[in-house]
Structure 1
Amino acid sequence: MEHDGQLQLYTAVANQLKEAHARVRALQVPEGVRVALTRKLLVITAAAKHDLADAARRLDRFTADLDAGRIPEEDR
């Protein structure tokens, strides 16, 4: 049973990551901002390999920030 829950969480995180990457690609922001957001997603992806629950929490925060318009400014 626990394995099924883990598999469902993995599937949910994978789908959310795919959606988040698509959202970042669609943003009308400077390339530097897009790169920074993509790096954050890659960190979350790497974290999922070691701690899936933590990665899911990070991804939820990332998505909430996008939803709220909290996007980092481009470094100059």
Structure 2
Amino acid sequence: MEHDGQLELYTAVANQLKEAHARVRALQVPEGVRMALTRKLLVITAAAKHDLADATRRLERFMADLDAGRVPEEER
């Protein structure tokens, strides 16, 4: 039973990551900003392999930042 719950959690995080990547692709921002956001998502993806709970928290913060319009500034 516990294994099924873990699998459901991984599936939920994977679906949220797919949604986050789609949202980043759809943003009307400079390419440098898009790349920075994509790198953050890749870090979250890597974290999910080792600590799913931490990755879930990071992803929730990432999505909240996107919802609030908080994106990194483009480097000059």
Relative to the length of structure 2, the TM-score reads 0.97
RMSD: 0.6
Identity %: 91
1:23 Cα deviation from its structure 2 partner: 0.3
- The size of the alignment, in residue pairs, is 76
Q: Which 4+ runs in 1 deviate beyond 3 A?
A: none
Structure 1: gaps (5+ residues): none
Alignment of 1:31-70 (within 5 A): 31-70=31-70
Relative to the length of structure 1, the TM-score reads 0.97
Structure 2: gaps (5+ residues): none
1:4 Cα deviation from its structure 2 partner: 1.5
1:31 Cα deviation from its structure 2 partner: 0.3
What SS does structure 1 have at the residue aligned with 2:12?
A: helix
